[in-house]
Amino acid sequence: MKLRGVFSTAIAISTGVFVLLGALIPTDILVDFRILLLQWAVLVAGFAVLVGIINLLVVHLAKIRAKSGSGYSLLLALSLLASLVIAIFSTPQGTGSRILFDGIIQPVEATLMALMSISLLYASMRLLRHRAGLLSIVFIATAIILLLGAAPLPFGEVGILHYIISPFIEQVPAAAGARGILIGVALGTLTTGLRVLFGADRPFGGK
Amino acid sequence: MQISLDLITGVIAFVFTLMVFSYVLSDNPVFRAALHIFIGVSAGYAAAVTWHQVLVPRLVEPLINGSMVERGLLVIPVLLGLSLLFKVSQRAASLGSAAMAFLVGTGAAVAITGALTGTLFPQFMAAIGRFDMSRSSGLAAAEQLAYASVALLGTAVTLVYFQFGVRDKSETQTSGRRNTVIRILAYLGQIFVAITFGALFAGVFTAALTALIERTDFIINLFTGF
């Protein structure tokens, strides 16, 4: 491992250990040091967001220069710079930012979400056609039962579906599976975090 | 003034809604243009929010109005933050590794405490809590016990499904597959996972359908408003 790699690993391990100790052993000095490290992390993360956006701009400016997909890249670069100037000078709560948010960001996000309903419907139909196993049938049957149980049906509600089957599925097998998945994810997070703190994983480039 | 602002916003929103909806016909240049503008605007807006909500209150104001100690404490994060700029260049990217290491180390520790106190302990307590007969759930005791047992079994077999470790082939002289009991439990776990994903699918589909109704309603209202 190069000296620079050792230095980066030492930084990752020491900051991680101090932040963890501050959370697990609540003495004044450890808690204060943990808060200071977290405040620094917020500031560095703020810089990281800006660096990411600068990188996005640099990549698209290079595409414009190379004339590969330059029209879309030009649109992206211009809209990025224009919205940056507007939102910086009008503040995120100002009129300019409101037009950007209510006029572009929110409608596009909502419409993409709306398009997802068509994609999901199409995907579920394809699932039964291409992978018609027991698990696919269980998946689709659960979804249909819960949708019928929640939707206002034209012929009135079906008592057994609304009050017995749907609540049972939601509260027992679906909740059990979700709890298993959540615990699995948390155990994975715990293991990955500990591997970083022990120096076994170095996702910051310290090989 | 207020009405004209709403009108401008409404017209822009209408145009972008139609541009994105054009994807229903096929992937087309109008849709791609809308997406590129959306990404650009979102990135610019995110940069402005970061500037106003993070960098100004935590860096610029303390540098202008803070004491010498406060200013001194900002030297390390500013150096780390500025070193991240090297990440944009391929040749000098390794100079930003220290800042990345700082973020990863802090993030790992926060993730560990979050996983322990935010997920593992509450989920274990919730699984145990279902067996608490003193809690009123509107069910008979036997029924509550049966439900709690099925839920516990479901959680356990779901976790078994996500256990992919096997013994070394040379150690056991087998083909490296999981043993039969584990495989049966894992298959049962898959069924619970399928039910959970079915429930999640229903929830996401309902939300997407709500968004579709809201967007259609927005277009109709804008037309009838004129």
In a domain, A201, yes or no: no
How far is Cα A193 from Cα B109, in angstroms, rounded to an integer?
7
A99 within domain boundaries: no
Whole-number pLDDT of residue A78: 96
pLDDT at B172 over 60: no
Nearest to A77 among B40, B118, B119 (CB): B40
DSSP B184-201: HHHHHHHHHHHHHHHHHH
Q: Which residue has the tokens 């001194």?
A: B72
B208 touches chain A (CB under 8 A): yes
ipTM of this model?
0.86
The answer, yes or no, to whether residue A85 has pLDDT greater than 80, is yes
Domain boundary among A64, A90, A116: A90
Residue A193 lies in a domain: no
- Enumerate the H helices of A25-158 as residue ranges: 28-66, 70-90, 95-100, 106-130, 134-150
Residue A139 within a domain: yes
**Which residue in this structure is represented by tokens 């401008």?**
B8
- Same domain (yes/no): A135, A86: no
CA distance B189 to A177: 8
Alpha-carbon distance of B40 to A201, in angstroms, equals: 34
Within an 8 Å CB–CB cutoff, is residue B94 touching chain A? yes
The pLDDT of residue A154 is above 80: no
Percentage of chain A modeled with pLDDT above 90 = 67
Q: What is the pLDDT of residues A193-203, one digit of tens each?
A: 999 999 888 88
Q: Is residue A124 part of a domain?
A: no
CA of residue B160 relative to chain centroid, distance: 24
E-strand spans in chain A?
A: none
Q: Is A37 within 8 Å of chain B by CB?
A: yes
Confidence of residue B137 (pLDDT cuts 50, 70, 90): low
Q: Quote the minimal CA–CA distance from A113 to chain B in Å.
A: 5
Which token pair is B221? 């209202």
A104 lies in some domain: no
The pLDDT-based confidence of B171 (bands split at 50, 70, 90) is low
Structural domain containing residue A72: 1-90
Question: How many pairs of residues across A and B have Cβ atoms under 8 Å apart?
Answer: 414
Domain membership flag for residue A125? no
Query: Is it the case that residue A150 has pLDDT exceeding 60?
Result: yes
Domains of chain A: total: 2
Q: Give B66→chain A minimum CA distance, Å.
A: 15
pTM metric for this prediction: 0.85
Task: Output the average pLDDT for chain B.
Answer: 88
Residue at A110 is within a domain: no
Interface check A125 vs B, CB under 8 A:
no
B44–A47 CB contact, under 8 Å: no
Cβ contacts of A44 on chain B, cutoff 8 Å: 77, 80-81, 84, 99, 102-103
What pLDDT score does A13 carry? 94
Pair A3, A58 in one domain:
yes
Quick one: A11 and A71 in the same domain? yes
